[in-house]
Amino acid sequence: MSPAAIEVPEKVSRTTKVPTGQLSGAFLDLAPIDYELEAEKKGKDGVKPAKYPHYLPTWPDVKWAPLEPFHHCDPGLDADTDYPEILTRGVKAFEVTPSIGTEIKGMQLSKLSPAGKDQLARFVAERKVVIFRDQDFADLPIGEAVNFVRYFGRPHLHPLSGAPKGHPEVHLVHKAAGDRTAEDFFKAKTSSVLWHSDVSYERQPPGTTFLMMLDGPASGGDTLYVNTAEAYNRLSEAFKERLHGLKALHSGFDQASAHLRKGGVVRREPVMNEHPVVRTHPVTGEKSLYVNPQFTRSIVGYKQEESDALLKFLYDHIAYGSDFQMRARWEEKTVVIWDNRVTSHSALLDWKAGARRHLARIAAQAEAPTETPYVA
């Protein structure tokens, strides 16, 4: 069944029904609120102004055309896998866990040559998540940061989120100083963990993704990541074989409805797309599970109860796999880069109430997900 054959609202509206549980998690960062206090040079009520006011979000009420398909050639295909610019002399690198995550100190992303960027793409694909400390990335002009990411693919334009003025390619993850929404959130929810792969509803979802810390709490607000390629590897051969050939429907309609209910604007009409449940990475050849509870709605061709049962197993398998997960701790001048094709992640809403948390994400779109035949 193709997306065109699925019955959906012609346009999302403020009254579009949002299923229970969908007004949570990453949706919290999308709706506009008054950030006047954030930009004041002196602050007030003991609140310091934002460190990067030019990165504060704006929500222009404009309309965008649907995203056009494009050919993506992953730069990691041309990389020197000795990584001479990433792991150069004087660099300190250590594995966060054996299966996912490397932390690096002693090199500047902004200084990489084109060959170094090729190496970065491949290194991130191999390690899934790479944490770079002491970076000058946030201090670059915003346009330079966007152009850096453009090397890895077309920057994604988020249809809903706030962005710095004049730079729609930047998705802002922002909780203002004094924000108390976490208190309301936990009146209805027991946990803030919501595993997802960013905007998987797009025809060509992001691959190499950059997230940089601008301002944050002294502790808390970490990000969890899971290696969905290793999640696939842990399955039995019989179960892997059964998953191959299946497709799942990914929808952006619930996110758009939740956003509108909070007074937001929708700059591009939401979409739904079918993607393989098992996708293959174009550079490493790894197979990974490509479903997530935030955007995946059903297994194509399955009855609802069958689909729910299979997806619940896969979601639980990914969520409970602590031995193929990691936790990224944020600090000033940190940039975390992950491969959105072979990971899922979740923010943690656990920092002291009222503290500011301000990050900027620039995500390079990649190829449309595909799978290669099952081989035992």
pLDDT the model gives residue 176: 86
Which tokens is 221 given? 């607000």
Sheet holding 102-105, edge to edge: 92-95, 102-105, 129-132, 335-339, 206-215, 357-365, 171-175
Q: In the beta sheet, which residues pair with residue 65? A: none
φ/ψ of residue 149, rounded to 5: -70, -30
Mean pLDDT of 301-308: 98
Give the pLDDT band of residue 300 (cuts 50, 70, 90).
very high
Q: 78-365 has which CATH code? A: 3.60.130.10
Q: What is the DSSP string of 75-86?
A: GGGG--TT-TTT
> Is 207 in contact with 364 (CB distance < 8 Å)?
yes
pLDDT of 252 higher than 50: yes
Average pLDDT over residues 1-19: 37
- pLDDT value of residue 226: 98
Cβ distance 108 to 212 under 8 Å? Answer: no
The whole-number pLDDT of residue 38 equals: 75
pLDDT of residue 4: 34
Task: Please state, rounded to an integer, the average pLDDT across all residues of the chain.
Answer: 89
Strands 92-95 and 325-328: unpaired
- Residue listed under structure tokens 């607000």: 221
Domain chopping of the chain, boundaries: 78-365
Task: Summarize the confidence of residues 91-96 as an average pLDDT.
Answer: 97
Residue 9 scores a pLDDT above 70? no
pLDDT in tens, 175-221: 888 888 788 888 888 999 999 999 999 999 999 999 999 999 999 99
282 pLDDT tier (thresholds 50, 70, 90): very high
pTM score of the predicted model = 0.91
Better pLDDT: 157 or 31: 157
